[in-house]
Amino acid sequence: MVESTMQPPASPAFAQFKSRLRDDLETLKREERFYTPNLLSSAQGPRITMNGRSYINLCANNYLGFAQDPIIIAAAHEALDKYGFGLGAGRVVCSMTLHQQLEERLAAYKGREAALVCQTGYDTNLAALSVLAGEEDAIISDAMNHASIIDGCRLTHAKRHTYPHADLDALEACLRETQDARSRIIITDGVFSMDGDLAPLPEIATLADRYAALVYVDDAHGDGVLGRTGRGIVEHFSLEGRIAFEIGTLSKALGGVGGFVASDQEVIQTLYQRSRPFMFSTGHLPPMVAAGLIAALDLLQAQPERLTRLWANAGALREGFQRLGFNTGASATPIIPVIVGEAAQAMALGRELRNEGVYVQAFAFPVVPKGAARVRCIVSAAHSQADIEEVLQAFATVGRKLRLI
Ligand SMILES: Cc1ncc(COP(=O)(O)O)c(C=O)c1O
């Protein structure tokens, strides 16, 4: 082990700087917005050991149970042995054949000409948006879009417009306002991660056609989840050929890490040539991850019963919550919020559920609107019927104790 020797005390300027940070950290603690690490010491699965205690896990995006699948793990092992641990150079200098295979597989999965894999779903939005919209263009973004979209939009010089969540009249007003722009890009999450609701994508596509705009959809929570064969929101709504840019993440249903853009050749080639987040980083998918993801795509096709099980579990949990008298908002997917109102109530619900052995996370303003604090539940295909019943029992006990139902 490398010996550690503590460095001498910081300069007065740095001490002053740190004092400012301490004040800010204290504010976060007072407002119950201070995150302490939760330490997982078991495999990912429907039941986990977190901070030394066993729980039913309702916090993972591991929708299909792929993160702990032995076939995927074996494929990753094989690639680790064959190709080694890291990459040694960025993708432009040295892309591996595995990256190329994965991109071809993702393009086929989405039914698009080509795909580009990036380091994470977050990076993918930076990589894509920083290039796709320039000074003469306008981007029109749903107010509830994911932080990575917001940050990606900050990297462009395009004119930025935001419309209230899923408000088609407001979106149309933005489209009317931006008629002079060279290109208009409407940007939306496919599934919104705090509510589990779907973007009104057919209506958005119709407006895009009417105003000659382009649609950019981030299907992070739709890939592997939505559509008859798990190809995402475009398959779900039969919108093939009507969405210009499809963004996905490899860290959720596919069980690994990474993100991708699927589109037509000119788009993907341009991103490869011009995208700084893609080009100027050595940190691309290690070979074992790329190989595991290819195996995950195989499994998605070979085991459609996982998708069926995921939706059966989502239906059972949502209906169970509703039967108990909880408000599950607009959830139409395996993301199911239990909305209780004030931050303190949501925090108490989260704490009590963890005491009962159910691992959930509570969210309050500013992550969700004021008065709509909640615990968010994400169910997977790997949960058993007994897991779901145990969760509902815990919600019933805690809900009554806290007088929420
Ligand atoms: C819509 C959306 N885009 C992007 C991301 C980021 O993806 P990743 O976690 O793979 O970086 C998320 C995940 O939290 C998301 O919900």
Q: Ligand 1: which atom is nearest the Cα of residue 123?
A: 11
Residues 151 and 265 occupy one common structural domain: yes
* Pairing state between β 335-341 and 373-378: antiparallel
For residue 343, is it within any domain? yes
Q: How many residues does the chain have?
A: 405
Residue 23 has pLDDT above 80, yes or no: yes
Q: Which residues contact 288 (CB under 8 A, 6 or more apart)?
A: 76, 77, 79, 80, 83, 85
Q: Which residues are catalytic?
A: 193, 221, 252
Residues 92 and 147 occupy one common structural domain: yes
Last residue of a domain, one of 302, 334, 366: 302
pLDDT in tens, 210-226: 999 999 999 999 999 99
Residue 391: the pLDDT is 98
For residue 14, is it within any domain? no
Amino acid code (one letter) for 400: R
Find the 10 Cα to ligand 1 centroid distance in Å: 37
Residue 25: the pLDDT is 97
Sign of the Cα pseudo-torsion (65, 70, 71, 77, in order)? positive
Q: Using CA positions, which residue lies closest to atom 9 of ligand 1?
A: 121
* Domain membership of residue 154 as a residue range: 70-302
For residue 86, is it within any domain? yes
Amino acid code (one letter) for 166: A
Q: Using CA positions, which residue lies closest to atom 15 of ligand 1?
A: 220
Q: Ligand 1: which atom is nearest the Cα of residue 259?
A: 10
Pair of tokens at residue 294: 């290819």
Our answer on whether the CB atom of 124 is closer than 6 Å to any ligand 1 atom is no
Residues 179 and 86 occupy one common structural domain: yes
- State how many domains the chain has: 2
Looking at residue 323, which CATH number applies to its domain?
3.90.1150.10
- Helix H or strand E encompassing 318: helix 305-324
Overall average pLDDT of the 355-376 stretch:
93
pLDDT in tens, 333-354: 999 999 999 999 999 999 999 9
Last residue of a domain, one of 271, 302, 333: 302
Find the 122 Cα to ligand 1 centroid distance in Å: 5
Overall average pLDDT of the 186-205 stretch:
98
**DSSP labels, 270-299:** HHHHH-HHHHT-S----HHHHHHHHHHHHH
For residue 377, is it within any domain? yes
Overall average pLDDT of the 299-318 stretch:
98
Residue 77 has pLDDT above 80, yes or no: yes
User: Would you say 185 and 133 are in contact if contact means Cβ atoms under 8 Å apart?
Assistant: yes
Residue 1 has pLDDT above 70, yes or no: no
For residue 54, is it within any domain? yes
Residues 158 and 285 occupy one common structural domain: yes
Pair of tokens at residue 167: 């408000």
> Which of 117, 125, 251 to mutate for ligand 1's pocket (most ligand atoms within 8 Å of CB)?
251
Residues 244 and 191 occupy one common structural domain: yes
Last residue of a domain, one of 271, 287, 302: 302
Residues 101 and 235 occupy one common structural domain: yes
pLDDT in tens, 390-401: 999 999 999 999
Looking at residue 182, which CATH number applies to its domain?
3.40.640.10
